Amino acid sequence: MSRIALAVHGGAGTISRELLTPSREKAYKEALELALRRGHAVLERGGAALDAVEVAVRALEDTPLFNAGRGSVFNADGQHEMDASLMNGSDLRAGAVAGVQNVKNPIGLARRVMDHSSHVLISGMGAFEFAHQQKVELEDDEYFFDEFRYQQWKEVVGSDTVQLDHADKEKKFGTVGAVALDAAGHLAAATSTGGMTNKKWQRVGDSPIIGAGTYANDESCAVSCTGHGESFIRAVAAHDVHALMAYKGLSLEEAVRVVVHEKLPPLDGDGGLIAIDRAGNIVLDFNCPGMYRGHVGNDAVYHTAIFR
C-alpha cells in the first residue's frame, strides 16, 4: 500500500505538568486519538487527504477540550467567533471562514467555501448567511458555553488583556489542526480555532489566513499552526515552511526548525506547528513547553503526546 500519514494538534502553549491530572491527560489523548482514527479511516480506504483533515478537525471541534468549535473561547462581548481554513495541496484550492458564530463545525463551512463559492475567505454575517444557504448545522449559544472558558474570560473581561487560550497556567486548551498525505500522494492541511480570549473588534488570527496558519502544496508540504496568531501572520509561518523547502531545498525537519525556532521567536511567536511532506515524513515542533499532538502512519499505530 502507498504511504499514508496523518498528524493532528490541539494547540501549543504553557501547559503545566502539575495541573494536568492523569484523568485530564487521558481525556486529551483520547480526543486526539479519536481524531486520528477518524482521519486515518478515510485515508485507509483510499480517501483524499482533504477529506481526512476535515474529518479529523471536525472530531476536535466537537469536543469542549480544545479551543475550536464547541470549546471556543469567549470574545470581549462574551460571544464565540470562530475562524477556520483548509487547503488542498494538489491544486492549491483553499477555503476559509473568519468570525463565524453558531456554526457547529467551522471547518465544514470552510470546505463549502472552497467547493461551493468562488471565494477563498468569507467572514462575519456574510459567512453566516452562506452557512444558512448551505444548510450547515448550527447550534445555539448554549452549545458553546463552557464553564472553564467562561471563568477564563471573566478574569480579563473589561480589560485590554487578550489571552492565548493555552497561555493561561490553569486552563490551556487550543486551536486544532490536521495535516495528511493520502495514497494518491496528495497533501492537505486544516486549522480551526475560537481565537484568543477577550479578543475585540472582530480580531482575526492566523488560523483562517492561507499561508499564515494553514498551507498545503504537493510540491513540498502541508502545515497547520497554533500559537500567537499575530506573530504567525507576520511571519507568514505556514507558507514559509513551504518556501524554505521549495526554494532553498531544505528538508521538512530543517524548514520547520528554522520557522519555529529562528523566525517566530523574535516576533514573540510562541507556539508550534505540525507538518507533513510528500514522503510522509511528519514533524511536530513547538517553541513553548507543550503541544497537544498526535500522528499515525500505515501501521495504524496511534501516537499522542503533550510535552516534549
Q: Provide the annotated active-site residues.
A: 175
Q: Is 195 in the site for ligand ASP (CB under 6 A)?
A: yes
Q: Measured from the CB of residue 278, what is the shortest distance to ligand ASP in angstroms?
A: 26
Cα dihedral value 50, 56, 62, 64, nearest 10: -130
Residues of 181-194 as b/e, b for ≥16 C-beta within 10 angstroms? bbbebbbbbbbbbb
Q: Give whichever of 67 and 101 is closer to ligand ASP, judged by the CB atom.
A: 67
User: From the list 110, 181, 188, 196, which residue makes contact with ligand ASP (rule: CB under 6 A)?
Assistant: 196
Residue type present at position 297: G
Stretch that binds ligand ASP, among 40-48, 221-229, 242-250, 289-297 (CB under 6 A): 221-229
Distance between alpha carbon 8 and the CA centroid of its chain, in Å? 8
The verdict on 272 binding ligand ASP (CB under 6 A) reads no
Q: How far apart are CA 87 and CA 299, in angstroms?
A: 26
41's grid cell? 479511516
Q: Judged by CB under 6 A, does residue 75 bind ligand ASP? A: no
Stretch that binds ligand ASP, among 57-65, 94-102, 154-162, 203-211 (CB under 6 A): 203-211
226 makes contact with ligand ASP (CB under 6 A) = yes
Per rule CB under 6 A, is residue 174 in the interface with ligand ASP? yes
**Is there binding between residue 67 and ligand ASP (CB under 6 A)?**
yes
Check residue 240 for interaction with ligand ASP (CB under 6 A). Answer: no
Binding to ligand ASP, residues 128-167 (CB under 6 A): 164-165
Of the pair 42, 209, the CB lying nearest ligand ASP is at: 209
CA distances from 64 to 136, 153, 175 (A): 20, 15, 11
294 - beta bridge partners?
8, 304
Here's the x/- map for ligand ASP, 79-118, by CB under 6 A: it reads as ----------------------------------------
Helices then strands, counting H and E runs in the chain, come out as 9, 12
The residues near 10 (Cβ < 8 Å, ≥ 6 apart) are 28, 31, 32, 60, 65, 66, 173, 174, 175, 176, 292, 293
| Rounded Cα–Cα distance for residues 152 and 18 (Å) | 19
Q: What string marks each residue from 11 to 50 as x (binds ligand ASP by CB under 6 A) or -? A: x---------------------------------------
Give the footprint of ligand ASP on this chain (CB under 6 A): 11, 67, 164-165, 174-175, 193, 195-196, 205-207, 226-227, 229
